[in-house]
Structure 1
């Protein structure tokens, strides 16, 4: 399995958005109920935000056989905004590699700490990678509560 990394472009958005929805629906279903998954997935409809991410963030794609298998984004050199691994490519080391590349990019930006808002599902992975929980957060979207964690790691 050969992974190629490259920066995302606008033309990658449809495939990234599909991966986003499928990952939330399939991978996070044990940690969030159907209503929570639906509300979370609706983030895909904020087209303006997705365009802004592509234009203003460091967006790294992991590609295997011309298919996006995961992506991570770094905002302002120190905040992981998006971090999703394709439902069919979980536990294959892709997340490790993307996170490593994001940390290298953060270091290039002279960041000493990297932060993110991490789902219940992803929390164990990030803890294994040295992130610590700073706060549990209860976000309300469309009258639905979504729990995540403000986490950070010193670089």
Structure 2
């Protein structure tokens, strides 16, 4: 099995929303209650705002065996807003492949720091990449309290240009 990455296309929006929904409802089921998962992703129908939210980010799509297996998206400032993998692809290098591309892009943009709000499921992944927990947070989402972690990674000083 090989995982490849590609740029996001607007016609991917519905598939990426389905992955987001599936990853929360199935993939995160050991970490969040049914009520918490329903609050986090209340409906399986893509909201009208979803394509615009993706369009504002640098989105990397992972494919394997002809299927979109996951996606990761970051802002130009280095905030990873989405990091989701289909549950059946978890543990098969999809997240790592996506992360490597996002990290390379951040370094290419001379960013010195990246940030995210990691779920209970995502926290160990980011910690293995060298990210630190800056703060544990409890956030209210649609009336449910969800635990998450503000995390960051220092990339170091941008490379100096030589003439």
TM above 0.5, yes or no, is yes
Identify if the C-alpha distance between structure 1 residues 114 and 153 changes in structure 2 by more than 3 Å, giving closer, same or farther: same
Report the secondary structure of 2:6's partner residue: strand
1:77 touches 1:105 (CA, 8 Å); kept in 2? no
Match of 1:26 in 2: 26
Larger gyration radius, structure 1 or structure 2:
2
Describe how 1:26-105 pairs up with structure 2 within 5 A.
26-42=26-42, 45-48=46-49, 50-105=50-105
Match of 1:140 in 2: 140
2:6 touches 2:62 (CA, 8 Å); kept in 1? yes
TM-score, with structure 1 as normaliser: 0.93
Identify if the C-alpha distance between structure 1 residues 121 and 91 changes in structure 2 by more than 3 Å, giving closer, same or farther: same
- Structure number having the greater helix percentage: 1
Q: For residues 55 and 144 of structure 1, what CA distance do their matches in structure 2 show?
A: 28
Q: How far does residue 147 in structure 1 lie from its aligned partner after superposition?
A: 1.1
Q: How far does residue 115 in structure 1 lie from its aligned partner after superposition?
A: 0.5
2:39 touches 2:143 (CA, 8 Å); kept in 1? no
Q: For residues 73 and 142 of structure 1, what CA distance do their matches in structure 2 show?
A: 23
2:135 touches 2:150 (CA, 8 Å); kept in 1? yes
Q: For residues 43 and 122 of structure 1, what CA distance do their matches in structure 2 show?
A: 22
Q: How far does residue 141 in structure 1 lie from its aligned partner after superposition?
A: 1.6
TM-score, with structure 2 as normaliser: 0.89
Q: How far does residue 27 in structure 1 lie from its aligned partner after superposition?
A: 1.4
Flag as ranges the 4+ runs of structure 1 deviating above 2 A. 42-47
1:69 touches 1:85 (CA, 8 Å); kept in 2? yes
Deviations 1:27-64 (A, max 9, x none): 1111111100001113865431x222332211000011
Q: How far does residue 90 in structure 1 lie from its aligned partner after superposition?
A: 0.7
Match of 2:8 in 1: 8
CA RMSD, Structure 1 to Structure 2 (Å)? 1.4
Q: For residues 43 and 141 of structure 1, what CA distance do their matches in structure 2 show?
A: 14
* Runs of 5+ unmatched residues, structure 2: 156-163
Q: For residues 35 and 149 of structure 1, what CA distance do their matches in structure 2 show?
A: 20
Identify if the C-alpha distance between structure 1 residues 105 and 116 changes in structure 2 by more than 3 Å, giving closer, same or farther: same
